[in-house]
């Protein structure tokens, strides 16, 4: 029984000595300019050293505690069996050390209640304490949550929290011309030349997914009034430029110029209401028609 105690005292004295030595060294004025260390500085080294010593100390105390419990299990059992100790809260904690899990699983009275249903008998046993206290905790947590978020309105609900995070994220994104969060302010092109160029670009790059007449294949139908990501020309421009990777829509920035993207977006809008054969079913939200005036 004396060896663990000596080990604990030795560990405490060693930690205190190293701590005092480190503090005294830190307070000693430097006579020369300190050289930059390639690794950790003195404060970091002292922190990790103390953290390691703390870990060793905790492991030592744990091992000493386990040793004491193992060696004194008989005496602890006798103490636990005393009527004045057995039924108390501290006695139940002591019971965990000697192998009685009543504090965790509750009392098993094995007493039948005076009723049964279809031959099913019910015992009058306690609910597990961990379950009861966990349930009580959820009630208290629910009351605090409702009071903080709904009654005092000091906490942000999901929608407000999302808006706050989006504003914070916008500050970290470049606000330049290539900012995907910044919507352009273009007007749909309406001249025959622009729409003809848009048609040529569409036939080469977009028809394989959206169909030769924009009726929709893998991609959605572009001739109806329903849009997945917005049907206004600047929304269509953004969709073409940055793509929708999660749905297989590739980004065309770097492959098409800004003017070419605007031309093909304007051409796609010019096809609204054309009602091609074998048109794909509508997808997304309905929006008012928005197409260039000029026709090819």
Residue whose C-alpha is closest to residue 92's, from 129, 123, 61: 129
User: Please, what sign has the CA dihedral across residues 261, 262, 266, 269?
Assistant: positive
- In Å, what is the CA distance from 103 to each residue of 85, 108, 227? 14, 11, 61
* Cβ count near 36 (within 10 Å): 6
Residue 96's pLDDT band (cuts 50, 70, 90): confident
pLDDT for 76 equals: 77
Which tens digits make up the pLDDT trace of 228-241? Answer: 998 899 999 999 99
Q: How far is C-alpha 40 from the geometric centre of its chain's CA atoms?
A: 32
Pairing verdict, β 112-117 and 120-123 = antiparallel
Residue whose C-alpha is closest to residue 19's, from 27, 31, 30, 8: 27
pLDDT for 10 equals: 60
Tokens 């430097």: give the residue. 30
The rounded distance, in Å, linking the Cα atoms of 143 and 132 is: 17
Which tens digits make up the pLDDT trace of 133-152? Answer: 899 999 999 999 999 988 98
Q: Are 61 and 8 in contact (CB under 8 A)?
A: yes
Domains of the chain by range and CATH?
192-286 (1.10.760.10)
Most confident region among 36-45, 112-121, 173-182, 193-202 by mean pLDDT: 193-202
pLDDT for 66 equals: 82
In this structure, what DSSP letter does residue 206 have? I
3-class secondary-structure state, position 115? strand
pLDDT for 296 equals: 45
Q: What is the pTM of this model?
A: 0.43
Which tens digits make up the pLDDT trace of 181-223? Answer: 678 889 999 999 999 999 999 999 999 999 999 999 999 999 9
Mean pLDDT of the chain: 80
CA angle 183/189/193 to nearest 5° reads 145
pLDDT for 1 equals: 43
pLDDT for 157 equals: 87
* Cβ count near 291 (within 10 Å): 19
Which tens digits make up the pLDDT trace of 249-278? Answer: 999 998 999 999 999 999 999 998 889 998
């Amino acid at each position: 029984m004396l060896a663990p105690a000596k080990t604990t005292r030795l560990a405490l004295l060693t930690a205190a000595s190293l701590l005092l030595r480190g503090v005294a060294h830190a307070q000693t004025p430097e006579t020369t300019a300190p050289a930059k260390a390639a690794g950790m500085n003195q404060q970091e080294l002292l922190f990790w050293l103390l953290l390691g010593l703390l870990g060793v100390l905790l492991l030592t105390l744990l091992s000493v505690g386990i040793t004491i419990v193992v060696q004194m299990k008989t005496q602890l059992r006798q103490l636990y069996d005393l009527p004045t100790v057995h039924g108390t809260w501290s006695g139940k904690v002591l019971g965990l050390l000697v192998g009685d899990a009543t504090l965790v699983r509750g009392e098993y009275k094995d007493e039948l209640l005076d009723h049964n249903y279809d031959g099913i008998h019910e015992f009058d046993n306690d609910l597990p304490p961990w379950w009861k206290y966990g349930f009580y905790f959820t009630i208290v947590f629910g009351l605090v949550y409702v009071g903080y978020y709904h009654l005092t309105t000091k906490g942000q609900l999901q929608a407000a929290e999302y808006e706050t995070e989006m504003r914070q994220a916008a500050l970290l994104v470049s606000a330049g011309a290539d900012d995907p969060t910044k919507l352009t302010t273009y007007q749909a092109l309406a001249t025959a030349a622009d729409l003809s160029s848009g048609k040529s670009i569409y036939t080469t790059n977009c028809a394989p997914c959206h169909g030769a007449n924009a009726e929709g294949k893998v991609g959605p139908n572009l001739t109806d009034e329903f849009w997945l990501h917005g049907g206004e020309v600047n929304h269509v421009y953004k969709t073409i430029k940055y793509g929708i990777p999660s749905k297989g829509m590739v980004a065309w920035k770097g492959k098409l110029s800004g003017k070419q993207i605007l031309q093909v977006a304007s051409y796609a809008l010019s096809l609204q209401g054309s009602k091609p054969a074998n048109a794909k079913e509508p997808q997304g939200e309905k929006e008012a028609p928005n197409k260039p005036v000029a026709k090819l």
